[in-house]
Chains A and B, each alone.
Chain A
């Protein structure tokens, strides 16, 4: 079971929800937690794992052997990201634009392209006191491509027999799609503001493409307006939880505490919500 926690808008409380959900379920199920927000990972500040191992995360870049190259230009044509250019009698590679997809290598008719790894960040593995297996990707500052790290992180920790919780980056771009595309359920965290609603709609647009079941948590309930709730009712999208806006929560989070440590009553709320998530993803399987 893979549950991805995403939002659209940044700062709505993804990490608060994902870490507290993981911690609430930790006694009952084997849990893996993957911090896929590789540009600003922070779940470790709340779950406090002991990091046992840190590996380099790499992107595979093409290298062209000009002695073999016939300058046919197929590699330039197949590159979706314009990372290659045919210039006179040379093929130029622009490493910062390369997504490491390997299309050029596969399509080269004369085998003139080989791949070499370029480090772009790290993957850390650890475990928490309550036995959550913890993984985190971290993109090196100035590197533009988060998706290869997210994919490697997910491959390294792949296990269908456990409950995996993926803390997604904000937004609705490639990095989010890389995180959520194979999830069994996407938990969307939003806030009742025009920004929250706008970005939530973008995420629902992404999910309509992947056809993944989803539900919404409204965080900071009580601020803003009722438009998020109206919209969700209109679209028949379930609201799984509402967390009121309270300064004590903000203060506790700023100290690095989990929501379930600040307000222990939430533990049973998260356990209940997990049952609801299982139910909702089953309904989707058998329409």
Chain B
């Protein structure tokens, strides 16, 4: 399963970013073979609609679950329509790696 986590850096050890549309990086992670890749979030350079263009990026990359601190109403609408599940974390001081582990053990909040 392909998941994508908003991140403050481009490594698994970096802190996850609580912001979705305006996060610095996205880490794409494949839970099947544990491969991953970091993408610089291009939406941060846009003046508006960053949540929507980030959602579009998820859809274009075959993501099945998006993970962030929260999701705005536009991102929520776009991701829902695209059939992408949303999960949120409460603790902003966790690394991407820890968030992935939390996702795999089912301890993240499902965002509806």
CA distance A87 to B81 in the complex (A): 6
Residues of B with C-beta under 8 A to A86? 56, 59
Partner of B49, one of A87, A88, A90, A97: A97
**Chain A: which residue is nearest B80 at the CB level?**
A87
Collect the chain B residues with CB atoms within 8 Å of residue A60's CB: none
B6 at the A/B interface (Cβ < 8 Å)? no
Are A82 and B82 closer than 8 Å at their CB atoms?
A: no
Question: What CA separation (Å) do A83 and B46 show in the bound complex?
Answer: 12
Given contacts A76-B56, A81-B49, A82-B53, is CB(A88)–CB(B82) below 8 Å?
yes
Docked-complex contact A82 and B81, CB < 8 angstroms? no
B8 interfacial contact with A, CB 8 Å: no
Interface string of B44-77 (1 = CB under 8 A from A): 0011111011011001000000000000001001
User: Smallest Cβ distance from A175 to chain B, in angstroms?
Assistant: 14
**How far, in Å, is B27 (CB) from chain A's closest CB?**
22
> A92-B77, A92-B78, A94-B74 in contact; A82/B49 too (CB < 8 A)?
yes
**B59 and A82 within 8 A (CB):** no
Residue of A nearest to B49 (CB): A82
State the majority secondary structure of interface residues on B. Answer: helix
Contact pattern, B 6-49, Cβ under 8 Å of A = 1, otherwise 0: 00000000000000000000000000000000000001001111
Is A112 part of the binding interface, using a Cβ–Cβ cutoff of 8 Å? no
User: Which chain A residues (179-211) contact chain B, with CB distance < 8 Å?
Assistant: none
A81, B48: Cβ atoms under 8 Å? yes
CB distance from A279 to the nearest CB of B (A): 38
* In the complex, chain B residues whose CB is within 8 Å of the CB of A108: none
A85 within 8 A of B: yes
- Give A92-138 interface residues, CB cut-off 8 Å to B: 92, 94, 97
Within the complex, what minimum Cβ distance (angstroms) separates B24 from chain A?
A: 18
Cβ A82 vs Cβ B48 within 8 A: yes
- In the assembled complex, the CB of A176 is this many whole angstroms from the nearest CB of chain B, namely 15
A86 to B78, CA, bound (A): 9
Mask, A67-97, CB within 8 Å of B = 1, is 0000000001000011101111010101001
A85 to B49, CA, bound (A): 10
Contacts of A88 in B (CB 8 A): 59, 81-83
**Chain A contacts for B78, CB-based, 8 A:** 85, 87, 92
B50 engages A82 (CB within 8 Å) = yes
Q: How far is the CA of A90 from the CA of B59 in the complex (A)?
A: 12
Q: Which of A81, A85, A90 is the one whose CB lies under 8 Å from B55? A: A85
Q: What residues on A are CB-neighbors of B52 within 8 Å? A: 82-83, 85, 94, 97
Give 25 pairs: A residue, B residue, CB < 8 Å, sorted on A: A76-B56, A81-B47, A81-B48, A82-B46, A82-B48, A82-B49, A82-B52, A82-B56, A83-B49, A83-B52, A85-B52, A85-B55, A85-B56, A85-B59, A85-B78, A85-B82, A86-B59, A87-B59, A88-B59, A92-B77, A92-B78, A92-B81, A94-B49, A94-B77, A97-B52
| Interface residue ranges, B against A (CB under 8 Å) | 43, 46-50, 52-53, 55-56, 59, 74, 77-78, 81-83
Given contacts A88-B83, A92-B77, 4 further A-B contacts (CB under 8 A): A82-B56, A87-B59, A87-B82, A92-B78
